[in-house]
Amino acid sequence: MQIQSSFSPTTPPLLNNRYQIVDAIASGGFGETFLGEDTQMPSQRRCAIKRLKPKAEQARVYPIIQDRFRREAIALEKLGETSDRIPRLYAYFEEDGRFYLVQEWIEGEILTHRVLRQGSLSESEVRDILLDLLPVLDTIHGNGLIHRDIKPDNIILRHPDSKPVLIDFGAVKETMGTVLNSRGNPTPSLAIGTPGFMPSEQAAGHPFFASDIFSVGVTAIYLLTGKTPQELPLNGNTAELQWRELVPEIDPKFAAILDRAIRFHPGDRFSCAREMLDALKQLSHPIAPTERSGPLSTLIFPKRTAPRRCRKPRKDWHKAAVAGIVLGAIVGLGLTLFSKSPSKSATPEPTPPTSSLPLTFYFIADSAFHNPNQAEQKRESLKEDGYSRAGFFWSPNYSNLSQYQSYKVYGDWFETSEDCQAALAEYRQYNPNSYCGFATK
Q: So which residues are the catalytic ones?
A: 149
In whole angstroms, give the CA distance from residue 191 to residue 213: 17
Helices (DSSP H) in 226-355: which residue ranges? Answer: 252-261, 273-281, 318-329
143, 311 contact by CB (below 8 A):
no
Residue type at 255 in one-letter notation: A
80, 88 contact by CB (below 8 A):
yes
In whole angstroms, give the CA distance from residue 22 to residue 20: 6
351, 340 contact by CB (below 8 A):
yes
Contacts of 61 (CB under 8 A, 6+ apart): 54, 178, 179, 180, 186
In whole angstroms, give the CA distance from residue 232 to residue 246: 10
CA 327 distance to own-chain centroid: 17
Residue type at 287 in one-letter notation: I
317, 381 contact by CB (below 8 A):
no
H/E stretch holding 256: helix 252-261
In whole angstroms, give the CA distance from residue 20 to residue 39: 7
Helices (DSSP H) in 367-416: which residue ranges? Answer: 372-384
Closest CA to 81 of 103, 55, 101: 103
Sort 275 into a burial class: Cβ within 10 Å, 0-12 / 13-18 / 19+. Answer: buried
In whole angstroms, give the CA distance from residue 151 to residue 212: 10
- Which DSSP category does 336 fall into? B
